[in-house]
Structures are given as structure tokens and as C-alpha cells.
Amino acid sequence: HIVTSGGRVLCVTALGDSVLEAQINALEVCGQVTFTGMQYRSDIGYRAIAREKAE
């Protein structure tokens, strides 16, 4: 569900059974949203994923 009041900043939040799964789910949503000049970071969560794998 996407709600906007203008502007070009969008925050995507996703859940998963692990940080990696949540990241995958968030990036999937990012792939479904498009607009001119769109950019998004695909590196968010990698530190937490590395910590999770080390446990």
C-alpha cells in the first residue's frame, strides 16, 4: 500500500524471518515502484545480515 503527500522520498519497510529475508522483501517492493529519476540503496542491511550469519 503506497501513500504519498508529495515529494520524492519513499520509505519501504518489510518483514521477514531473518534480516536477509526482510531485505529481499523490501528490495522486491522497490522493484515494483518506478518514477523518473528513481534511485534506491540496495546495500542497506548488509551489516546486520553479516552479524546474523556469524551467530
What was the pLDDT predicted at 49? 95
pLDDT of residue 20: 96
Q: How many CA atoms lie within 13 A of 46 on its CB side?
A: 4
Distance CA 23, CA 26 (A): 5
Top-confidence residue, 10 or 30: 30
pLDDT at position 28, please? Answer: 95
pLDDT on residue 11: 85
- Please answer whether residues 17 and 3 qualify as being in contact, where contact means their C-beta atoms are separated by less than 8 angstroms: no
* pTM of this structure: 0.76
39-42 long-range Cβ contacts below 8 angstroms, 24+ apart: 40/12
At 12-49, the pLDDT tens digits run: 899 999 999 999 999 999 999 887 788 889 899 999 99
Which residue ranges make up each domain of the chain?
1-55
Residue with cell 515529494: 7
